[in-house]
């Protein structure tokens, strides 16, 4: 437990880790899309969560690949794992909760294997990696791509969203991750829901809030990103605020906007720049500038703008993370530290 029994300062705790990691921590890359690259069939409403039941060894392998690529934080396979989703596939409630816990345990197991027998050359001298439990947004559960629109329908209330997320959060927190990664949040309402749930449930595990954006100014729903980030800023249990699964070209501006409303560490893990088409479960290149080179060439800029944790999301791979790790570790950005001198 990072906070012990003392006052809650999640941002301070994570800042300490980032400092130990050299001033900028490396987050892993896409998990679901990398499982697909290994042959997993994710044409399914459970998406990557399907593998928790059918192929946990493959999940462990992808975590290991990311650790070997240099990741300081690995994110569990629970993005689209929900009790309701598993139950709709015939799992009992207990089995569904066990699958959620398994996502964290598989990541922890990968970390143990890595420490015992992995190729540690890319992580030499760095603190043991953190395991973040992924909490995908409600849009992920809907499996209609609404984590990229934020449109949950007019009848969706804050209470409904809280009821949807509460038990999953409790179960994932109970599995003992080092962090909770609230990912791909498309609107302000869901951020408010998470902040309230963290408080009401007394969760003593640092969390990060990571939003999606389609224009570099607003969260995917159109809620201004600074208003979304301000919700995260006001919650002491939130360790970091940022953006994921968003095109690389929007990241720089988003970091600058987020920095205006919070001094918490900023986390960014963009996708490849392609767009997700829910109907076909495919990624299309609407950007014209995708690929590891284009992504990695921007890492220095993100770091100089103030990102303290940098990784990749969908359609990025261990090769991307290896290149990110090289970029943040070899380059000298002494004049502009990612984590301000404390």
Ligand X SMILES: C[S+](C)CC[C@H](N)C(=O)O
Ligand Y SMILES: N[C@@H](CCS)C(=O)O
Provide the binding-site residues for ligand Y, judged by CB under 6 A: 30-32, 48, 75, 79, 134, 183-184, 245, 313-314
Roughly what angle, to the nearest 10 degrees, separates helices 225-233 and 188-200? 10
Instruction: Figure out which of the listed residues 22, 23, 56, 145 binds ligand X, where binding follows CB under 6 A.
Output: 145
Quote the Cα angle for 202-207-212, to 5°.
130
Q: Is the dihedral of CA 20, 22, 23, 25 positive or negative?
A: negative
- Per rule CB under 6 A, is residue 275 in the interface with ligand X? no
How far apart, in whole angstroms, are the C-alpha atoms of residue 266 and residue 15? 10
How far apart, in whole angstroms, are the C-alpha atoms of residue 97 and residue 28? 25
278 makes contact, choosing from Zn ion, ligand Y, ligand X, none, with CB < 5 to 8 Å by partner type, with ligand X
Q: What residues numbered 216-245 form the site for ligand X, per CB under 6 A? A: 245
Instruction: Figure out which of the listed residues 253, 278, 287, 337 binds ligand X, where binding follows CB under 6 A.
Output: 278
Q: What residues numbered 55-84 form the site for ligand X, per CB under 6 A? A: 80
Residue 80 vs 103, nearer CB to ligand X: 80
Residue 98 vs 274, nearer CB to ligand X: 274
Those residues whose C-beta lies under 8 Å from the C-beta of residue 227, and which sit 6 or more positions away, are 188
Q: Using the 8-state DSSP alphabet, how is residue 27 labeled?
A: B
Instruction: Consult the annotation and say whether 228 binds a ligand.
Output: no
How far apart, in whole angstroms, are the C-alpha atoms of residue 217 and residue 167? 32
In whole angstroms, how close is the CB of 298 to ligand X at the nearest point?
A: 21
Residue 35 vs 71, nearer CB to ligand X: 35
β-pairing, 282-284 vs 275-277, is antiparallel
Instruction: Figure out which of the listed residues 131, 140, 181, 198 binds ligand X, where binding follows CB under 6 A.
Output: 140
> What is the contact surface with Zn ion in residues (CB under 5 A)?
245, 313-314
> What is the contact surface with ligand X in residues (CB under 6 A)?
32, 47, 80, 140, 143-145, 147, 245, 276, 278, 314
């Amino acid at each position: 437990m990072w906070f012990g029994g003392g006052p809650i300062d999640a941002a301070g705790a994570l800042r300490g880790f980032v400092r130990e990691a050299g001033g900028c921590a490396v987050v892993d890359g896409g998990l679901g899309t990398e499982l697909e690259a290994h042959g997993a069939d994710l044409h399914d409403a459970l998406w990557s969560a399907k593998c928790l039941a059918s192929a946990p060894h493959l999940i462990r392998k992808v975590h290991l690949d990311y650790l070997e690529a240099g990741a300081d934080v690995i994110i569990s396979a629970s993005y689209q794992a929900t009790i309701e989703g598993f139950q709709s596939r015939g799992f009992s409630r207990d089995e569904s909760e066990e699958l959620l816990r398994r996502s964290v345990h598989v990541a922890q197991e990968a970390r143990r294997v890595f420490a015992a027998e992995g190729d540690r050359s890319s992580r030499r001298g760095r603190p043991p990696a953190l395991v973040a439990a992924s909490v995908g947004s409600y849009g992920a559960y809907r499996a209609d791509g609404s984590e990229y629109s934020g449109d949950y329908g007019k009848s969706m209330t804050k209470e409904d969203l809280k009821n949807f997320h509460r038990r999953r959060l409790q179960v994932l927190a109970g599995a003992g991750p080092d962090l909770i990664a609230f990912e791909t949040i498309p609107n302000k309402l869901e951020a408010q829901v998470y902040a309230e749930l963290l408080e009401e449930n007394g969760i003593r595990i640092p969390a990060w809030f990571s939003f999606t954006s389609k224009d570099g100014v607003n969260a995917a729903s159109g809620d201004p990103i600074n208003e979304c980030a301000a919700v995260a800023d006001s919650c002491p249990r939130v360790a970091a605020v940022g953006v994921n699964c968003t095109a690389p070209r929007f990241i720089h501006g988003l970091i600058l906007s987020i920095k205006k409303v919070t001094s918490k560490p900023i986390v960014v893990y963009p996708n490849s720049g392609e767009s997700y088409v829910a109907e076909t479960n495919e990624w299309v290149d609407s950007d014209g500038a995708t690929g590891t080179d284009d992504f990695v060439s921007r890492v220095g800029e993100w770091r100089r703008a103030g990102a303290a944790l940098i990784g990749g999301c969908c359609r990025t791979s261990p090769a991307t993370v290896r290149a990110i790790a090289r970029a943040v570790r070899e380059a000298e950005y002494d004049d502009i530290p990612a984590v301000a001198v404390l």
